[in-house]
Amino acid sequence: MSLRLANARIVDAFGERRGDVCVEGGKITDDAPCDATVDVWGMVVTPALVDMHCHLRDPGYPLKETMESGMRAAVAGGFGTLCAMANTLPVIRTPEQVMANEKKARALGLCTLVQAAAAGVDLKDETPTDYEALSKATRVISNDGKTIFSDAFMRRLLEASAQYGFIISTHCQPEREIVARDLKLLREVGGRLHIGHISARETLEMIENAKAEGLKLTCEVTPHHLFGFDNDYKVNPPLRHKEDVRALIGGVKRGVIDCLATDHAPHTPEDKRAGMAGISNFDYALGVFTRVFRENDIPLTTLSRMASYTPSGLLGTGCGRVAPGESADLLLFDPDAAWTIRKRAMRSLSHNTPFAGRRVRGRVLAVMLRGEVVYRAGEKNATDG
């Protein structure tokens, strides 16, 4: 069946316009007669969000999150594609494990999963995994959750990324020192470096200087590092100071920061009481981004570029534009709607957040993936169980 979303405010990385979006056979089609029409006057139709960095805890940690619970929260938050890190139990380190998790995701019929694989056996920077074999199964290799301290290991990983074409997603603690080391190695040997969850003004400055030199790399920022500061809530890297938040927002405006990513990292209440780092934010990440962007006069086209088009290109998922022939992975949302983050309303199994009670902006109304509606606000549907 073909469907027309009529009178939409269409937003993607390439601009904003008023018009209709037609969907048939899982694709966006040229304007043509459709079997059904839904008038979405005034609402934004934009590509579904693509998350470069999250933790689904699957396999191995069902009390924290399962793939299904995480994806139900993600689609309700506007996400269509997730890149999940490899710090599972067992650690995902083989092509067979990558493919098994992606097969499990396809069976759920929710988000598209790009499963990252570990750079080192057991997430250690000692014994490398099989980079050549893994590069045929995934675009992303990462020890995220653990820092690669060995210079020799990181050098070899960068060399392998250049040779086999995968992206290295890094976890840098201490942030400034490890980012400086990685940029130095990138200058020496090249490679495909993606710096995860930057949080500090000095880090941004190093990245901006490196890009000005002509170094090829990408980086990401999370909603909590654009929204929270001077708060001791345990996340890695920590929430910094107000001047760091201002600097990161400036980096978004100047195009230094490439991607918006959640680093959704669910934990049980017992884990958090024991001091484990992590935040759950699939449910409200778009609300944070929309509020921060509006308050700082950053257009929705930039949000779409950073949260859909650029990460889609890095992950090779082939979405991120509202144009004929593109995959009908679409988000319908009201950017003007203000609402309050409530723990009891979160769909993730984990409700660990310091932002309960905070007001955000931008309510998800519906999400369509591969031409099928997988979430519709206010109705019992695929995301409500």
Active site residues: 263
Ramachandran angles phi, psi of 119, nearest 5°: -80, -30
Q: Which amino acid is at 35?
A: D
| Residue 115 burial (CB count, 10 A) | 26
Q: How far is 104 from 63, CA to CA, in rounded Å?
A: 18
User: 320: how many CB neighbours lie within 10 A of its CB?
Assistant: 29
* Beta bridge partner(s), residue 195: 170, 219
Quote the distance between the C-alpha of residue 257 and its chain's center.
13
Contact 265, 253 (CB under 8 A): no
Distance between CA atoms of 43 and 90, rounded to whole angstroms?
43
Sheet with 167-170, edge to edge strand ranges: 140-141, 167-170, 193-195, 217-221, 259-260
- Helices 242-254, 201-213: crossing angle, 10 deg rounding: 30
All residues at 6 or more sequence positions from 300 whose CB lies less than 8 Å from its CB, including other chains: 11, 16, 44, 46, 290, 293, 335
Distance CA 10, CA 18 (A): 6
Peptide bond into 269 cis (omega under 30): no
Distance CA 178, CA 147 (A): 8
Closest CA relative to residue 193, chosen from 161, 224, 223: 161
- List the structure tokens of 138: 């995934």
Helix (H, G, I), strand (E, B) or coil at 152: helix
Compute the distance between CA of residue 371 and CA of residue 253 in angstroms, rounded to an integer: 32
CB-CB contact of 52 with 169 (8 Å): yes
